[in-house]
Structure 1
Amino acid sequence: MALNNFVKSIRNIMRNDAGINGDAQRIEQIAWMLFLKVYDEKENDWEFNEDNYKSFIPENCRWRNWAKDNGEGETITADALLDFVNNTLFPTLKGLEVNPSTPMRSAIVRTTFEDANQYMKDGVLLRQVINVIDQLDLGNYEESHAFGEIYESILKEMQSAGSAGEFYTPRALTDFMAEIIDPKVGEKMADFACGTGGFITSWLKALDKKVRTAEDKEEYENSVYGIEKKQFPYMLCVTNMLLHDIDSPRVMHDNSLTKDVLNYTDEDKFDVILMNPPYGGSEKNDIKQHFPSDLSSSETADLFMVLIMYRLAEKGRAAVILPDGFLFGADNAKLAIKEKLLREFNLHTIIRLPGSIFAPYTSIATNILFFNNEKAEGAEEGFSTKETWFYRLDMPEGYKHFSKTKPMRAEHCRPIIDWWTNRQEIVDAENNDEKSRCFTAQQLLDMDCNFDQCKFPKDEEEILPPAELLADYFKKRKALDHEIDKTLAEIQRILGIEISKD
């Protein structure tokens, strides 16, 4: 079948099934079937290249033995198919025994199906969907390559599938960050909230250009590490890795925040960290207890920043997407985290991103923080950061905002790349507009670690959803209260006034 009709065909079939309720369930239903199809194709390779290969999946549950339709009327369908999938396939795969000696490429089968769901209730329609998926010839290089775009479209559809959209970062952005970070053969890269694997695949894409030998190829395959808390994106990430020829993906189904950061050793650290941590969430006290008290925050993004700092190897490099609230936040934890960045890391660049990059699914404005775990040459005593450059990426000409039909594209990052290699301040003093500026670490510390520099000019008022509006209001009010308290304290000091706090 034509690849561009793949998603459309499956969508049309599933709309007639009473068990599928919305896009999220439809995509999750596709995900486990797609995983088994891709895994079966990989097993073809392993059987060809390895003597005495034995599948971890029992014979009756291998895709080739129950899903393929030979056209001779022998393939199970209707109620028999539903009974097999619900009462044999799922219980068997969920119950596969895994131990420390189980190879990673085998263990991912059990982990992928741990919390997977089978929603369809019509066995005839289920057979039709399976047939559509099975027609994909992933053994054919050209079709497999073309399917990468189809898979990408499936990931994009997650943005309109409820909360699943939080796992998708525009590919133009992940590719740009991976290129700027400049992967090197032999380095290890990590994403501790990897979602569907966007940053990992962008890293592999950039690293692949530098693979020259068989040894390089082996380093390439072992260069990535991911952790994903939620089952659905984890399943998609593992499939994504298999499609990118990572036969034993080191992707864990786990929560990165449930381990004490002080217990990480050098063996737990990585040369490069690329991430878009979840933000907007709030963590319970039992999670916060895994972090030093001065850095412990209830905000998810803050805790991920602390985790990154503790797991970035010496001389390691990081590029992390964070919301505006981190830049202007003035609560104790945020201030401590930002001061730690300046004193113990080289926070060399902050890129301000247009607020509509993740629109229409969220209008929260975001930024990319680039920092290294090393002391910058010429940094003042007490700091590892010498100077921090801010650069504002304005909307491209002809765009008022990005949208589902006009998403961010690779060429929209070109202004950053051009500026990156020839940095200079861009200030319009007449209009009080700063597009690019450089601050020393001491200047930022003197500004109470206010990283909210090179802001976007205010256009028409943006109407936010009530929850985002309130969250934004409280964050800005907290920052303003902090500035007022600081000013009043300074006035009291100058006047020698002591006011009782009772």
Structure 2
Amino acid sequence: MTTAQALGSLLKSARDIMRKDKGLNGDLDRLPLLTWIMFLKFLDDLERQREDEVTLAGRKFRAAIEPPYRWRDWAANTQGITGDELLAFINQDETNLPSGKRGPGLFAYLRALSSSNGDNRRDVVATVFKGVDNRVKSGYLLRDVVNKIAGIHFTSSEELHTLGALYESMLREMRDAAGDSGEFYTPRAVVRFMVDDPRLGETVLDPASGTGGFLVEAYNHLSKQVRTVADRKTLQSETITGCEPKSLPYLLCQMNLVLHGLDAPQIDPGNALRFKLSEIGEKDRVDVIVTNPPFGGEEEKGIQGNFPDDRQTAETALLFLQLIMRKLRRQPTSAKRPARAAVVVPNGTLFGDGICARIKEELLKDFNLHTIVRLPNGVFAPYTGIPTNILFFDRSGPTKHVCYYEHPLPDGRKNYTKTQPMQFDEFKPCMEWWSKREESDQAWKVPAKELLAAGCNLDRKNPRGKVDFEHLPPEQLADDILKKELRIAELMKEIRQALGTHR
């Protein structure tokens, strides 16, 4: 077994080697390369283990990857193919194989795999590699990286645990290098706070998985409840599901879950919004949804057509909110609890009118929107300064009142930054408040009837709070100005109607 220090050193050495290659441009290129190499090594280690188990049981073993494309065939020998020969074997549609015969290159073979032999892992492998490119220019450097990864033992639970933590730190570094692509990563403190509820036997979904942070946290949370072989089977095959259409985060999500112990992640590589909302029935529903769906984007007309005529919008966040509401199971879960969701939304969702208001009306009338946690400035900085909130709702019945909790910045802080992010311990006061829900300087309550009468405007300010305009981010100031302008326009319309001067 490799120690945590040795694993850290091994990954650092591999990354140092990749920095020498002229085809790789920063962590956005280096981490995916490291990921697909690790993925193939993990798969081969797992295949060896399963082959032994199946053979001992007297059954025939079905390999997900066959010779000469297994890790052991082309990568395990440190003196094996290298240089241009290695690049040709990986990249070309047809090439000379290590066996001496001609055949498809490694990526061409992997992309063509299908589950026709009854092994669903083949579909996962094919989907992963359809979105992977090998940008390495030097086959010699690539061989050096492969030799480093050969030192990892993916069958060791201790090593997997350590690798999972190391991989998360690399994902954070990738987020820092991603700029506008930073939506791949939600701060760990926020994820942990939102995923504090699943029970073993309940199904968990993240319809916008990104790199899998919410699903990893859910898996870790549920793994502590495993007591029997049957429990483990339930967790491994019947619990964790996700959806991620972008090829890079899909690959990273798969590896993230694998390294944390989920043998065969069930991540849908398509757009979660591609299904007609009215056709999602009880069999398609789940018990728990935790997610930070993309916002600020625009969906195409074909996707919008999957939603009711009076709820069609290009705003991605509103489409995802409708999907989440539809995907929650109507009946109590196996743990005798209502199906429930925790969802990050931008401020605009709270005060939006028109289609947005109609969606929120359904949320208040058909679901119990029991809590809105208003996050402080800069939680997602520097990737976005848009103020955000977490909606917590369930299927226990209509909303009677909404409890608001305004999460304060730590004393002496005016914002969060990349180097000083939010810490999980900061949620402790909110978690202590959760069960009693007493009103305070941070917490207040608004009846649902009042919210419905106000056009479903959920953007309620803290009645005891003070607004520090000097330190508000520009996005929040713009939000406030927009809301005031909208309210002025509404008042002017009412005045014109009262005077009988319609336009």
Give the alignment's TM-score, normalised by structure 1: 0.89
Match of 2:276 in 1: 260
Q: Distance in 2 between matches of 1:393 and 1:442?
A: 25
**CA offsets per residue over residues 430-478 of structure 1, 9 Å max, x none?**
xxxxx211011111122222222245732534565xxxx5x984x6555
Q: Given the alignment, which residue of 438, 457, 469 partners 1:424?
A: 438
Match of 2:176 in 1: 160
Q: Given the alignment, which residue of 76, 82, 91 partners 1:86?
A: 91
Q: Distance in 2 between matches of 1:417 and 1:390?
A: 13
Match of 1:232 in 2: 248
Q: Distance in 1 between matches of 2:84 and 2:298?
A: 44
Aligned AA (1:402): Y
Q: Which moved more, 1:114-123 or 1:23-32?
A: 23-32
Match of 1:64 in 2: 72
**CA offsets per residue over residues 308-340 of structure 1, 9 Å max, x none?**
11111113100001111111223x111111111
- CA drift of 1:12 comes to 2.1
Match of 1:97 in 2: 114
Q: Given the alignment, which residue of 312, 316, 328 partners 2:339?
A: 316
Q: Distance in 2 between matches of 1:351 and 1:228?
A: 26
Q: Does 1:208 align with 2:216?
A: no
Q: Does 1:479 align with 2:480?
A: no
Seen in structure 2, the aligned counterparts of structure 1 residues 335 and 472 have a Cα distance that, compared at 3 Å, is: farther
Q: Distance in 1 between matches of 2:87 and 2:149?
A: 17
Secondary structure of the 2:436 match is coil
Q: Is the 8 A contact 1:105 1:249 kept in 2?
A: no
State the identity as a percent. Answer: 39
**CA offsets per residue over residues 235-292 of structure 1, 9 Å max, x none?**
1111222223322321111011111111111101011111100111111222111111
Give the alignment's TM-score, normalised by structure 2: 0.89
1:280-299 equivalence runs, <5 A = 280-299=296-315
Q: Is the 8 A contact 1:183 1:207 kept in 2?
A: yes
Q: Does 1:413 align with 2:427?
A: yes
Q: Is the 8 A contact 2:370 2:393 kept in 1?
A: yes
Aligned AA (2:109): T
Match of 1:300 in 2: 316
**CA offsets per residue over residues 152-179 of structure 1, 9 Å max, x none?**
1121122123244211112222122111
**CA offsets per residue over residues 31-65 of structure 1, 9 Å max, x none?**
21121122222223212322332312121111122
Seen in structure 2, the aligned counterparts of structure 1 residues 132 and 91 have a Cα distance that, compared at 3 Å, is: same
Match of 1:458 in 2: 468
**CA offsets per residue over residues 66-102 of structure 1, 9 Å max, x none?**
11234xx3x1111111111112111111122344x74
**CA offsets per residue over residues 323-371 of structure 1, 9 Å max, x none?**
11111223x1111111111011100000011221111222222111000
Q: Does 1:338 align with 2:343?
A: no
Aligned AA (1:499): T
Q: Distance in 2 between matches of 1:398 and 1:177?
A: 26
Aligned AA (1:341): L
Q: Distance in 1 between matches of 2:111 and 2:282?
A: 34
Q: Distance in 2 between matches of 1:405 and 1:482?
A: 37
Structure 1: gaps (5+ residues): 376-383, 428-434
Q: Which moved more, 1:315-324 or 1:131-140?
A: 131-140
Match of 2:352 in 1: 329
Q: Distance in 1 between matches of 2:384 and 2:345?
A: 13
Structure 2: gaps (5+ residues): 93-104, 331-337
Q: Given the alignment, which residue of 354, 369, 377 partners 1:355?
A: 377
Q: Does 1:77 align with 2:92?
A: no
Q: Is the 8 A contact 1:329 1:476 kept in 2?
A: no
Q: Distance in 1 between matches of 2:326 and 2:358?
A: 14
Aligned length: 471
Secondary structure of the 1:274 match is strand
Q: Distance in 2 between matches of 1:399 and 1:472?
A: 19
Q: Distance in 1 between matches of 2:484 and 2:118?
A: 54
Q: Distance in 2 between matches of 1:278 and 1:258?
A: 15
Q: Is the 8 A contact 2:114 2:122 kept in 1?
A: no
Q: Distance in 2 between matches of 1:308 and 1:62?
A: 40
Secondary structure of the 2:287 match is strand
Q: Distance in 2 between matches of 1:368 and 1:264?
A: 25
Q: Does 1:196 align with 2:204?
A: no
Q: CA RMSD in A?
A: 2.1
Q: Which moved more, 1:206-215 or 1:308-317?
A: 206-215
Match of 2:500 in 1: 498
Q: Distance in 2 between matches of 1:172 and 1:37?
A: 31
